[in-house]
């Protein structure tokens, strides 16, 4: 449903609207040194390659979602499909923040539907951006249903968190940046998967140039289940990363791109995600979401082990989190 030319078109649309986020070269050892359990097909440790962290958590509103938000709204405007009533979005938090931010910068009214379980920091952020916030249900699916009905009733532009072509293409501009920043010298990109919009865009951008590994919590295996079933299927949502990776099913666009380009799914447990988030703070002083930490956890646990000489980029995709449990942890006892 999307391919590299769509991502390149999105890059032209969003130019000057988004940040070109840093790519930080790092020593692979702190990220891959854990000798914990490995996947059955895991390869032996080989830290001889190069590794980078893509600091996308420094993007506007603290996540990659601003890319897709600007892409979708600007595409609608260019096509004459942006009504005076503005936009409506459904989001567990990050997508809503991004759409609210883009709408505010473009002078467009925004209404965002979120679950009652959305973190307070994200709800506060929405309000600060001038969006109207409606909290409905306890799951993303309930907020989504209410938002789509409201859009149909009012004629507002509906903004999907992860399953619209211009949204996914916008997220894929991150992949183009990675190619530019590494001079094309990258073999693998690890990133977290929820509904799959980021994965879809990046895999489309990198198709034929680098592989994409989609990492997701064991409790929310949307990609793994979809590839196994041959289509997106509903999964139960739970665990520490549910606030940012809590989609009930993989998007249709994400499934199409993943199956077409050979995206590899990897699963990690909650305990590994929590520890990976702490490690990123401890080693690099970067506060990231639990969902974001899933990509790091895949390396730490050996669920994904780079081959000798492999050049790996790990995407840190979001930072809308309460950092108090990182900076105020009890001091170790003597």
Q: Tens digits of per-residue pLDDT, 143-197?
A: 889 999 999 999 999 999 999 999 999 999 999 999 999 999 999 999 999 999 9
- In this structure, the answer to whether residues 58 and 74 fall within a common structural domain is no
Residue 227 three-state SS = helix
- In this structure, the answer to whether residues 43 and 190 fall within a common structural domain is yes
CATH of the domain at 86: 3.40.50.1100
- In this structure, the answer to whether residues 213 and 232 fall within a common structural domain is yes
Query: What does each C-alpha distance from 288 to 12, 280, 293 come to in angstroms?
Result: 29, 8, 7
- In this structure, the answer to whether residues 105 and 216 fall within a common structural domain is no
- In this structure, the answer to whether residues 195 and 308 fall within a common structural domain is yes
Answer whether 259's CB lies under 8 Å from 212's CB.
no
- In this structure, the answer to whether residues 140 and 221 fall within a common structural domain is no
- In this structure, the answer to whether residues 77 and 156 fall within a common structural domain is yes
Residue 255 half-sphere exposure, CB side, CA atoms within 13 Å?
A: 17
User: Is position 22 within any domain?
Assistant: yes
Q: What is the pLDDT of residues 183-219, one digit of tens each?
A: 999 999 999 999 999 999 999 999 999 999 999 999 9
Is the confidence at residue 332, as pLDDT, over 90? Answer: no
What span, in angstroms and rounded, lies between the C-alpha atoms of 291 and 109? Answer: 29
- In this structure, the answer to whether residues 45 and 186 fall within a common structural domain is yes
Burial 4-25 (b: 16+ CB within 10 A, else e): bebbebbbebbeebbeebebee
Count the domains in the chain.
2
Please name the residue that has the structure tokens 């979809």. 226
Question: Residue 271 belongs to what domain range?
Answer: 4-62+169-327
Burial 239-269 (b: 16+ CB within 10 A, else e): bbbbbbbbbbbbbebbbbbbeebebbbbbbb
User: Is position 94 within any domain?
Assistant: yes
User: Is position 334 within any domain?
Assistant: no
Q: What is the pTM of this model?
A: 0.91
Q: Name the strand (E) or helix (H) holding 277.
A: helix 270-284
């Amino acid at each position: 449903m999307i391919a590299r030319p769509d991502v390149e078109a999105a890059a032209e649309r969003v130019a000057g609207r988004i940040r070109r986020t840093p790519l930080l070269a790092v020593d692979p050892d702190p990220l891959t040194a854990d000798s914990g359990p490995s996947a059955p097909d895991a390869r032996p440790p080989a830290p001889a390659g190069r590794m980078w962290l893509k600091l996308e958590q420094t993007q506007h509103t603290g996540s990659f979602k601003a890319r897709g938000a600007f892409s979708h709204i600007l595409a609608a405007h260019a096509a004459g499909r942006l009504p005076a009533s503005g936009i409506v979005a459904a989001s567990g938090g990050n997508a809503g923040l991004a759409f609210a931010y883009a709408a505010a910068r473009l002078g467009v009214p925004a209404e965002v539907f979120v679950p009652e379980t959305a973190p307070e920091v994200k709800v506060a952020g929405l309000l600060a951006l001038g969006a109207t916030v409606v909290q409905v249900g306890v799951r993303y699916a309930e907020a989504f249903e209410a938002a789509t009905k409201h859009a149909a009733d009012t004629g507002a532009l509906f903004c999907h968190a992860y399953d619209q072509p211009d949204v996914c293409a916008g997220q894929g501009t991150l992949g183009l940046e990675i190619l530019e920043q590494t001079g094309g010298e990258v073999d693998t990109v690890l990133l977290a998967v929820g509904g799959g919009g980021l994965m879809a865009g990046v895999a489309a951008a990198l198709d034929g140039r680098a592989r994409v590994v989609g990492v997701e919590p064991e409790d929310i295996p949307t990609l793994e289940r979809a590839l196994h079933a041959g289509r997106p299927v509903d999964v139960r949502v739970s665990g520490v990363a549910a606030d940012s990776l809590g989609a009930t099913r993989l998007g249709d666009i994400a499934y199409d791109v993943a199956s077409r380009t050979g995206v590899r799914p990897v699963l990690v447990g909650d305990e590994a995600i929590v520890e990976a988030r702490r490690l990123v703070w401890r080693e690099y002083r970067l506060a990231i979401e639990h969902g974001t930490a899933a990509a790091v956890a895949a390396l730490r646990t050996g669920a994904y082990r780079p081959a000798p000489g492999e050049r790996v980029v790990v995407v840190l995709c979001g930072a809308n989190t309460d950092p108090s449990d990182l900076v105020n942890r009890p001091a170790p006892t003597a």
